[in-house]
Amino acid sequence: MAPTAVSTYPDSRTSDVASKSKVRDGLITSGQHPPIYEALKQYEDFPKHIDGRTVWRTEDYKDNPERWTHRFTSEEINELSDTADKFSQSGVPLTTISKASFPLPTFSAYLESVRDDLVNGKGFILFKGFPVSEWGAHKSAIAYMGLGVHLGHLVSQNGRGHVLGHVKDLGEDATQIDKVRIYRTNARQFFHQDSSDLVGLLCLSRALSGGESDIVSVHHVYNILQHSHPDVVRTLTQPIWYFDRKGEVSTGQDPFIRAPVLYLEREAPSGKEPRVSSKWDPYYVRSLSRFSDPPVSLIPPLSEEQKYAMDVLERVCQEEALHMVLEVGDLQFVSNLHVLHARTAYRDHAPPKPRRHLMRLWLSNPEGEGEGKGGWRLPFHDSGFERRGGIQVNDVAAVANLDAE
């Protein structure tokens, strides 16, 4: 359903909240769900080796940045700028921005090829030259989200409904992993994936040191593990893993989800084999001791086989990762289905210099959007939902704050 234009933009311009009617109109995120267990495949059904565009090695790109970076042209920036100004004047809530309300007649053709490469190809790109210093936070947010909706549908990133997220150290205790989301700290992030099909990061300001990005092809890591550690792959395909929801739970839902780490598509794309995807975040696995330790014991503790699989997976990811540094005005998009990403710990500048600050988008690519354009056929009940995945708590409405809270 197309969003309805409203007559005014919020006066404070510090946030942009969708009305409750938009929630009833179906613009909320689907949320986190367990898989359809009957649709899960056994290890024996998984391929012994993966080929194709999604398989890449660090040496393919490390010394060839032109293969994975795109510097915005003046024409592209002008088109983004003009459309952002018109959108701002239109009064349409930022939370309901769409391809229809943010048209890019020329740039959209290139973005369609980017979307295909993110969903079906190598799964990452780094844009350079986004004029964040010139535009400021408000216009940058509009243009960033406007670009993003040409790659996917916005989904909420937390229980507060944030469709525009902020990766920033808010001084929270990173050791409290059962309560704290690590993106709100300056701690290291191990290789992981977010609860969406794509993630985007726009760099507004850099740290004094650290905070650098690493990515790795899941399918390349999978091939290595199938060759050297098939026992690890077997463990990762079993639905024996429990993932914490860290309190971001709707009424009546369990505080955790039982699932495998590796999945096969329910059915193959036309003329192809079912693809292997993954959903992984070690913080969300390690934080569940409050449910596994006596006297609670609601779920089993991690087995030695699981601990070993976690260690091997992280080690291989580190060995095979592509390293990059996000400069101010850099914009990174990464697949959350067939790429894992990580971040080094960082230290911020002392005041009054700004802290490290990245604007973040989570985007969905549902199946069924046309031949060659739909997302992967995942074994989840919301696989065809426009805003599949993300984090949705009850009927919390979408919010697009211009800074972290």
pLDDT in tens, 5-57: 222 222 223 334 444 445 444 679 999 999 999 999 999 999 999 999 999 99
Percentage of the chain lying above the pLDDT 90 cut: 81
Residue 268 CB neighbour total at 10 angstroms: 12
Can you give the pLDDT at residue 107?
Answer: 98
Can you give the pLDDT at residue 238?
Answer: 98
Sheet with 322-324, edge to edge strand ranges: 189-192, 339-343, 213-217, 322-324
Can you give the pLDDT at residue 179?
Answer: 63
Mean pLDDT of the chain: 91
pLDDT above 90 (res 195) = yes
Name residues whose C-beta falls within 8 Å of residue 58's C-beta, 6 or more positions apart in sequence. 216, 320, 321, 322
Pairing of strands 262-264, 276-278: antiparallel
pLDDT in tens, 351-393: 999 999 999 999 999 998 866 678 999 999 999 999 999 999 9
pLDDT above 80 (res 342) = yes
Instruction: Please compute Rg for the chain using Cα positions.
Output: 20
* Distance, CA of 236 to CA of 261 (rounded, Å): 5
Buried b (16+ CB within 10 A) or exposed e, 98-117: beebbbbeebeeebeebbeb
Q: What domains, with CATH codes, occur in the chain?
A: 35-364 (3.60.130.10)
* Distance, CA of 256 to CA of 246 (rounded, Å): 8
Give Cα 224 to chain centroid, integer Å.
24
Reported as a pLDDT band with limits 50, 70 and 90, residue 181 is confident
83: left (phi > 0), else alpha (psi -120 to 50), else beta?
alpha
H runs (alpha helix) in 64-149: 74-90, 107-120, 132-148
In this structure, are residues 226 and 232 in contact, taking their beta carbons and an 8 Å threshold? no
Across residues 195-220, what is the average pLDDT? 96
pLDDT in tens, 148-175: 999 999 999 999 999 999 999 888 877 7
In this structure, are residues 62 and 121 in contact, taking their beta carbons and an 8 Å threshold? no
pLDDT above 50 (res 138) = yes
Reported as a pLDDT band with limits 50, 70 and 90, residue 269 is confident
pLDDT above 80 (res 2) = no
Name residues whose C-beta falls within 8 Å of residue 294's C-beta, 6 or more positions apart in sequence. none
Across residues 284-304, what is the average pLDDT? 93
Can you give the pLDDT at residue 371?
Answer: 65
Can you give the pLDDT at residue 26?
Answer: 60
Can you give the pLDDT at residue 104?
Answer: 98
Reported as a pLDDT band with limits 50, 70 and 90, residue 147 is very high
Residue 69 DSSP class:
E
**Judging by beta carbons within 10 Å of its beta carbon (0-12, 13-18, 19+), is residue 54 exposed, middle or buried?**
buried
Q: What angle do CA 291, 292, 297 make, to 5 degrees?
A: 85
Quote the pTM value: 0.92
pLDDT above 60 (res 329) = yes
380: left (phi > 0), else alpha (psi -120 to 50), else beta?
beta
Name residues whose C-beta falls within 8 Å of residue 22's C-beta, 6 or more positions apart in sequence. 3, 28, 93, 95, 96, 397, 398
Reported as a pLDDT band with limits 50, 70 and 90, residue 280 is very high
pLDDT in tens, 216-251: 999 999 999 999 999 999 999 999 999 999 999 999
Across residues 331-345, what is the average pLDDT? 97
